[in-house]
Structure 1
Amino acid sequence: MIKSLSEAEMTEVYRQRMKRDFPPNELKPLTRILSQKRKHIALCLGYYKQDQLIGYAVLQQDERQRCLLLDYFAIFDHNRGQGLGTCFLNELKTMFADREMIVIEAEAAVTEQARKRIAFYQRAGARISGIQLHLYHVDYAVLTLDLAAVLDDTQVRRRITDLYRRIYPAFFRKLYLRME
């Protein structure tokens, strides 16, 4: 079951889990996540099994709420390898079935872990968009998970550009974001 996380719950998840699950160069400051939550840009969600929090996702949405960016997604260590990540992702797809797509950034490093992560998203139905991002000094492959619409490459690029305009201020995009 998916539930919205309060600011206090999100703070706990950030301090206890996100700092372990993501390298520092991929982790936004907590203040930024909470600020985006207050502005309804970020959706902070918990994934529960029998009322116990076992995973989380932070999604960003564009102004028109057509597209979502899966900014952070994880199942807690001791619950991994049981198919719960796939279940969580499928529940997200159902929850946001009225949206056009979910955009997924997957680290583009040539490592076994990066390859497995991309393969996981592809098994869930995501497709590689061909768009490469360089964000926070990290290279990402962009995948898209079609929901209520199947968009062509031009539409996908436009939606992703709009999404990043909403999420990041112009000075930040100029300094830290490169889309190819």
Structure 2
Amino acid sequence: MPRDDRSTDDRRPRSSTTDERRRTSDERRVFRGAARLDIPRDWRRTFVPRPTYDADAFGRLSERIARFLGTGQFLVYMTVTILFWIGWNIFAPSSLRFDQYPFIFLTLALSLQASYAAPLILLAQNRQEARDRVQYERDRDVDSRTRADMEFLAREMASLRMAVGEVATRDFLRSELRSLLTDLDSREDDRV
């Protein structure tokens, strides 16, 4: 018969707290993560990889586009394109015209450009707002540290002023030495 090394106390059923104490930290983390409803589960691996995109790269691209849309160069390019479009569709031979007088296709192209430009500009503004918020927090931290340093230096200067007020100055020492010399001279005169 195999010998059981556990004591009789170890043979009773363990409580859940004892089980949790004996688990490793990774096991506890996995156990806690699986039981919580506010943390999404990790998806299981699939045979087809899910497409991912870099939100930061898309944000940088939208900022570049928004910056370009706000330049005079873009306005010049847009104006030249529209004038060429209208001129071509008015003065070109009728067999080469692709957009007749009400310029429906031009209107569609401009509205499509505007429908993409507006969200890109908003995305760029949101990213700029986030950067401004971070910069504001940094500035506020630097300001509070600077203010604390100035208050410390002001207290130190006040304590130095008080200490200097208590220190004997050169003129004070000279006057004290003169009075001592006159006292010594008067005592020597008294002795003689």
Higher Rg: 2
Same structural fold, with TM-score higher than 0.5 when normalized by the shorter chain: no
Task: Give the TM-score normalised by structure 1.
Answer: 0.18
* Greater share of strand: 1
